[in-house]
Chain A
Amino acid sequence: EPEVTQTPSHQVTQMGQEVILRCVPISNHLYFYWYRQILGQKVEFLVSFYNNEISEKSEIFDDQFSVERPDGSNFTLKIRSTKLEDSAMYFCASSRQGMNTEAFFGQGTRLTVV
């Protein structure tokens, strides 16, 4: 069964460093998303990406964040200068037709900023 894969599963970084979280969405999906879940809190939408551009982003997705689809298979989330409060589980998701179909989530990357 096709699945969304994320690497690494756990990333520890020093405050102020840049991190890149990687995702391989399901191959025939057209919509890509990043969500995050801070420990003990709800899953929060960060950004959606369609047709090689950002479709929608939340207030959380400020100038420190960027997304890229560098090739036909990868979808990345970059955090330029990490802060302690960026520590969270980051989930990548993809869907075939946007809101009309369910999004499939990856297993997540646990980002720990120290």
Chain B
Amino acid sequence: DQQVKQNSPSLSVQEGRISILNCDYTNSMFDYFLWYKKYPAEGPTFLISISSIKDKNEDGRFTVFLNKSAKHLSLHIVPSQPGDSAVYFCAAGEVMRGADGLTFGKGTHLIIQP
């Protein structure tokens, strides 16, 4: 049962262009969403988050958009840089469940082409 889905296993984008990574979720109880980036042989590192009371959160080159009615979120990276090549995980959780773990998607491997 995939409560968090990242339907694109990989995405190739030219350096300098916009990268858009998508994520869908099915559990309507999720109200907190995060994006993690993972390099080979390292643990996931936090990128950006958004709570369900917002529809957009921006941090430098990274913007996350949330469409609650569609149960969809996306991560925009602009401009894309070679160091952005990594696997990006979408994760979701319920704030009121306190210490509960996150539910992760399978990840999207972003490849930035020079």
Contacts and interface: CB of A to CB of B under 8 A. Distances in A.
Interface of A: 4, 6, 31, 33, 35, 41-50, 55-56, 58, 91, 93, 98-100, 102-108
Given A43-B89, A44-B104, A98 B98 contact: yes
B42 to A, nearest CB: 5
B101 A46 contact: yes
A17 B88 CA distance: 34
A81 B95 CA distance: 34
Contact of B46 (A31, A33, A48, A102): A102
Chain A binding surface SS class: strand
Contacts of B32: 99-100
B44 A105 contact: yes
Contacts of B49: 102
A99 B102 CA distance: 8
A45 B102 contact: yes
Given A56-B99, A102-B49, A91 B43 contact: yes
Given A42-B106, A42-B107, A99 B100 contact: yes
A35 B101 contact: yes
Contacts of B41: 107-108
Nearest to B89: A43
B24 to A, nearest CB: 14
B1 to A, nearest CB: 11
Contacts of A91: 43-44
A93 to B, nearest CB: 8
A50 B18 CA distance: 40
B99 A48 contact: yes
Nearest to A44: B104
Nearest to A43: B104
A44 B107 CA distance: 12
Nearest to A95: B99
Nearest to A93: B43
